[in-house]
Structures are given as C-alpha cells and as structure tokens.
Structure 1
Amino acid sequence: MSSSVSHTEHLKKPLEDYMALFPSVRILRTKKREGLIRTRMLGASAATGDVITFLDSHCEANVNWLPPLLDRIARNRKTIVCPMIDVIDHDDFRYETQAGDAMRGAFDWEMYYKRIPIPPELQKADPSDPFE
C-alpha cells in the first residue's frame, strides 16, 4: 500500500464540488496517509464547532441519531457519548439491535474490540444515564 495521497479521481475535484453543497463541511487534505487516529486528531484541531462527532465509514446515521447524544453533552460538557450501534444484516439490510445492556468498549491485549459489562456499582437506575 502506498503511503502517498490518493490518486482516486472521485476523491479530488468531484468530491470538492459535491461537498460545496454543504457549506459547513470542510475537506482537509494531508500530504501523505496519516492513519485513523492521527487524521482524527488533525480534524479535531481544525474543528470550529462546540461538539466533535466522529463517524467511521461503516456507520450509517439515521433520523434523529444525534439529539440524544447532544442532550447528554449539553448536561455536562465533559461527557463523552457513544451510542449503542445497531447491526445491519448483510443479507437483507434489516436493522437488529445490539444484544445486551449498555456496556463499555475496550480493546484487549491483541487489540480486539470487546464489549465489557458495566460493574454493578457503576450501573444507574436509568440505563441511558452516563457512567464512569
């Protein structure tokens, strides 16, 4: 894999022309591929809004996905929110809710993402309330 910038034509002028329809969106370009975290940090440092939202390429934002997250941030600006993410069936694209209660996300020593139950002493009466 090349470490240079993309040579894919649709990521150049066609993308810039399309994104011009959304004046609140800016395209930031780097001189070389920077990787996920470094690129997010670059975007965060250039952000001018009050709230930063990161969506991965496999995420689909549906109707009214953002207000519940913003509500929690409005109550406490130090809150970091992450929604329960539905699964989209790869055969027929129907939504399936993620099994189980709210959990923490973490990586194990092999860098596999795991969902870890919230310890009973940190659980709240309302499962939508933030937790440590």
Structure 2
Amino acid sequence: MEHLKDKLEEYMARFSKVRIVRTKRREGLIRTRLLGASMARGEVLTFLDSHCEVNVNWLPPLLNQIALNHKTIVCPMIDVIDHNHFGYEAQAGDAMRGAFDWEMYYKRIPIPPELQRADPSDPFE
C-alpha cells in the first residue's frame, strides 16, 4: 500500500526513537516481533498491537515492576472501548493471567488463590 512506503518513512522520520525495520517478505506476527526484538536498542521491549490505544501514564506502573525485578514480564489489564459510544469499560473480573489451551486459543484464567497477593497489581509467579 502506498501510504506504508515513502509516506510512512517521511512521517516517522520526525520521531528519533522510532525505526522502521522491513523484511524482504511477509513474515507474520511472531517472526516479525522476534526480528524487532533482535534489533531493539532499548532496555525494555513493549509490544502494542494495532488495536491497542494507550492513555496517560500507562507505562510507569509497568516499568516500576521491571525496575524492581528485571526478570519480570508485565501485562496490563486491558480496558475495553465500547464500539457504540467509545467509552471505557473495565475488564470484567479480578486479575487474571493469560494462557493458551491445547488448540492454541488464548484464554484468560483466574490466578490460583495460593498465588494471589493482597494487592492485585503485585506480580505473581
């Protein structure tokens, strides 16, 4: 698509912290993320899908957990934007963790009671 070629390069040139890395052929989501991770220069990697929209101060709480333990992997609770009125709706239920079933479907599953913390935003094993 034309808007993903020179126009994109010109537009993104104004952002010094952003680089566009192109593959020779279409690689798919995971291979492309791995390529990007291998070429990254920063200390922390953040992956945002095209349907994600961040809000003010979304990153500091995530970085704080990484600063406390560099082996921590963080994933925020993702609110839903209602397609009828564009209002925010909190994700239903308590803090959950993501998992894939045997058919590779992603599911949110409850955190077992023995791993739950007093503060639901604290990391867990």
Shorter-chain TM range is over 0.9
Looking at structure 1, the residues matched to 80 and 44 of structure 2 have their Cα atoms a distance apart, in angstroms, of 25
Structure 2 counterparts to residues 13-92 of structure 1, below 5 A: 13-92=6-85
Distance 1:90 1:72 in 2: 32
Q: Deviations over 1:90-128 (max 9, x none)?
A: 111110000111111012222222110001111111111
The residue number in structure 2 matching 1:115 is 108
Give RMSD over aligned pairs. Answer: 0.7
2: distance between equivalents of 1:89 and 1:110?
29
Name 1:130's counterpart in structure 2: 123
1:4 is aligned to none
- Residue aligned with 2:107, SS: strand
Match for residue 95 of structure 2? 102
Write the distance in 1 (CA, Å) between the matches of 2:10 and 2:40: 21
In the alignment, structure 1 segments of 5+ residues that lack a partner are 1-7
C-alpha separation in 2, matches of 1:99 and 1:56:
21
Q: How many residues end up aligned between the 2 structures?
A: 125
Return the alpha-carbon distance in structure 1 between the equivalents of residues 104 and 12 of structure 2.
34
For each residue in 1:16-48, what CA deviation from the matched residue of structure 2 results, as whole angstroms up to 9, or x when unmatched? 011011011000000000010000000000000
Task: Supply the distance in 1 between the matched residues of 2:32 and 2:47 (Cα, whole angstroms).
Answer: 11
Distance 2:104 2:38 in 1: 26
